[in-house]
Structures are given as structure tokens and as C-alpha cells.
Amino acid sequence: VLDPYARLLGLTVTVPLPGSATASLVIAPEHANTHGTCHGAVLFALADAALQAASNSHGPQALATTVSIHYLKPAAVGETVVATAVEEHLGGRLALYRIGVRRDADLLAVADGQVAIRR
């Protein structure tokens, strides 16, 4: 079930396996920045959606505490961008995910997301 903000953006999210997830988006004109390329905050929202889906795939509720993103390359309107979150560490109270944001094989951004687990 997508949350309201994911629906506003038009994201698609899948959870192939517990602890991992992908989020994808076709970049629309309303996702652009002043340069006409995909806004950095949209790439972040995509990474964040993958993080949220991956970290909540185990059952107990997980809430993001810290997320950092490095921007590497721009995406254009009309392109499809996919974020993939992989679990790097699952502890009792904290877990860490690595998220790659790609257009085909091209790495556009990488992010780290830490979540707190409510047990």
C-alpha cells in the first residue's frame, strides 16, 4: 500500500525479498528542477521509498532516523529511474540500508539509510 506522498509522486514499489526493495518512477515534468532535469529531492524520495519498503518488510515498524545521499549524475524528464535498497545490517534497534538509484546500469545517486526499529 503506497502512502499519500508516494501516490502524489507516482512511485511504484516492490519488495522482492525481505530486507530489500525497489522503487521506480518515470520522471514527469512536475519532477523537474530549474535546469529541467530530475529534482534531487525526487531522487531522494525514490531512495527513501525503497528504504521504507525494505526496512518495514520484516514486520516490526521501522522509522528512518538518518539518510544521506550523494548525487552523481542527472536524469532527464521521460526517463525511468529505479532505486534499489539492500540491507547491510539488521540489529536489534537499528538497521542500515544501502540504496542505489539507477537509470538502466547508470548510477545516478547512492544513499545510506538508517532506521530505528520499534519492537
Interface contacts to a second copy, rule CB under 8 A: 1, 3-5, 7-8, 29-34, 39-42, 44-45, 48-49, 52, 63-72, 88-89, 91, 93-94, 96, 98, 107, 110, 112, 114, 116
For residues 92 and 60, what is the distance between their CA atoms, to the nearest angstrom? 11
CB of 19 to a second copy, least distance (A): 14
CB neighbours of residue 100 within 10 Å = 18
Burial class (CB in 10 A: 0-12, 13-18, 19+), 47: buried
CB of 55 to a second copy, least distance (A): 12
